[in-house]
Amino acid sequence: MFAASRDGQQMYLNVLNPHALASGQSGRACVHYRSARKILLARGMSHIFDNVPRRLYPELRRKVMDCFSSDRQFYYCQKGEKPISPGVQKAIGQLFMNYRLGTESLFDAHEEGFDW
């Protein structure tokens, strides 16, 4: 896989070598390597706070939002526009377990996908 760009008279090629795996031949991992292993992603959290008591809601909502890289990312994931990674799913599940709340219907759907 490569990309070409032209700067004046010189042409530059950026190349990703498919043989440079995660372990790398140079002894260090390729920073562009992505595994082709499928993972279980979640989509949507439209009913995540339905069974949360009113007194816990503000605190728990803030902690769930903190599991994401930004508030905007949280809203995209809550609406189902972006998938939720297994790490974030686990963190959210742990929060609900810490508050002794059910974890059976936190996410709207699950799908297989790549960690890209």
Domain extent, residue 27, equals: 1-33
pLDDT tens, residue order, the chain (116 aa): 445 566 667 777 777 666 666 666 667 777 777 778 999 999 999 999 999 999 999 999 999 999 999 999 999 999 999 999 999 999 999 999 999 998 888 999 999 998 77
7-26 per-position pLDDT tens digit: 667 777 777 666 666 666 66
Domain shared by 28 and 45, yes or no: no
Q: Which two tokens stand for residue 21?
A: 């795996």
Number of domains in the chain: 2
Report the C-alpha gap between 47 and 51 in whole angstroms: 8
Co-location of 79 and 53 in the same domain:
yes
- Name 109's bridge partners: 43
| Per-residue DSSP letter, 12 | E
